[in-house]
Homo-oligomer: A and B are copies of this chain.
């Protein structure tokens, strides 16, 4: 059974979930209010604000539902001081009330796939969904020792792709990294918007020493720092300038 068969054959279960009636205006306020805030005042961030935001992150879409994202809320004073250093002492880190690290996992998909499969089995999921986790996931995300199986996949995809549409990724560890960071960023955006929705502010920081950040968290291979997020309430001057975007015609196309 190919990936294509699974996708085409997946019959919806007898399950109904209605959309909730939402407010565009309220949502628009949240995305507009979210700015990268680089100076925070001394207002404490209630624990629930961070917890709600982590929960929001964890319900973002995750590729193949393999749940490759982790949130580390750094609360210990010592670790926080180290993390500020690892974030190069930038003002957003130094003045943040809270710091949360988003980690992208490249090495948990196999474990998570097995656990998702176990849950699906008990929930009466259709056969095609089970097959996806039994057969497709182990092939799709595995690149083998030294990436050799990935090379085989690359060749097979390329040959198959001559005559028919064929998924091409992930065919290397580099692709797995992209894949994991992509889902982590979806979760990170939910997190940041959730903080804005609760009237606090964030700054996503990529200017950090990822090796030191991982060391502070006790993480090794298979964990990559997606971003460090500063959280607090904006101080006067905390937003450095009006939002600046280049002309939209450069980024939005109708074809």
A interface residues (Cβ-Cβ under 8 A, vs B): 3-4, 7-8, 10, 12-17, 19-24, 26-36, 38-39, 52, 54-56, 58-61, 63-65, 67, 69-76, 79, 85-91, 112, 115-116, 119-120, 123, 125, 129, 161, 165-169, 174, 177-179, 181-186, 188-190, 192-194, 196-199, 201, 204, 206-212, 217-218, 224, 226-227, 233-234, 236-246, 248, 250-255
Contacts and interface: CB of A to CB of B under 8 A. Distances in A.
Contact of A79 (B7, B16, B238, B255): B255
Given A19-B201, A196-B22, A246-B116, A89 B27 contact: no
State the main secondary structure of chain A at its contact with B.
mixed
B65 A7 contact: no
A250 to B, nearest CB: 8
A208 to B, nearest CB: 7
3 tightest A-B CB contacts, nearest first: A12-B237, A27-B197, A185-B185
Contacts of A254: 72-73, 75
A167 to B, nearest CB: 6
A233 B38 CA distance: 39
A255 B152 CA distance: 41
A27 B26 CA distance: 7
Contacts of A188: 186
A170 to B, nearest CB: 9
Nearest to A180: B178
B3 A20 contact: no
26 contacts: A3-B207, A12-B38, A16-B239, A17-B242, A22-B30, A22-B196, A23-B23, A58-B248, A59-B245, A61-B192, A63-B206, A67-B250, A71-B251, A72-B254, A73-B255, A75-B254, A86-B165, A112-B246, A115-B246, A116-B244, A167-B209, A174-B174, A181-B181, A186-B189, A217-B253, A218-B255
